[in-house]
Amino acid sequence: MIKILLCCGGGFSSSYVAERMKKEIKSSGMEKDVMIEFSPFSIAKEKFLEFDIVVCCPHLNIYVKQLVEKEDVPVPIYVLPPRMYGNMEIKEIYQDACDLIEMFKQTHQNPIHFPQEDNVLRITRQCAYRHQ
């Protein structure tokens, strides 16, 4: 099972998205594959070790970069492309999470990103990286 921590600035939008995605997990029969929780980014650091990956809303990009410059974060942190955040399909997020976790095991790079996607604001895909 992949445990995803979804973060936004104050927790308001991510809490709504996390609840919607929990329903989608259940309706898709993915309960054994993925679990998602939300947290405001400001307090998420306390929870990092409980999760396999931290997925952040696009507007947190600068804060994620500041965090990883100061600290060695032991789990992958991924900033969602803006269009994926707007679409947020659990099957696509799950696929990216699985791929990114494997990449992180090799590189220990944070924030983790797919090839040629280091500038999150220029990414236009709305699906998992491997599905484009």
pLDDT tens per residue, range 22-39: 899 999 999 999 999 888
* Angle, helix 90-107 to helix 12-27, in steps of 10 degrees: 110
The pTM is what? 0.92
Distance CA 71, CA 23 (A): 34
Copy the structure tokens of residue 13: 């939008």
**DSSP string covering 15-43:** HHHHHHHHHHHHHTT-TTTEEEEEEEHHH
The yes-or-no verdict on residue 86 having pLDDT over 90 is no
User: For residue 111, is it left (φ>0), alpha (ψ between -120 and 50) or beta?
Assistant: beta
Copy the structure tokens of residue 119: 């500038």
Read off the pLDDT of residues 96-117 as tens digits, 9 standing for 90 and up. Answer: 999 999 999 999 999 999 999 9
Distance CA 130, CA 127 (A): 8
Residue-range domains of the chain with CATH: 2-131 (3.40.50.2300)
Give the N- to C-terminal CA distance of the chain in Å, as an integer: 24
Confidence (pLDDT) at 87: 72
Report, as an integer, the average pLDDT of 70-82: 93
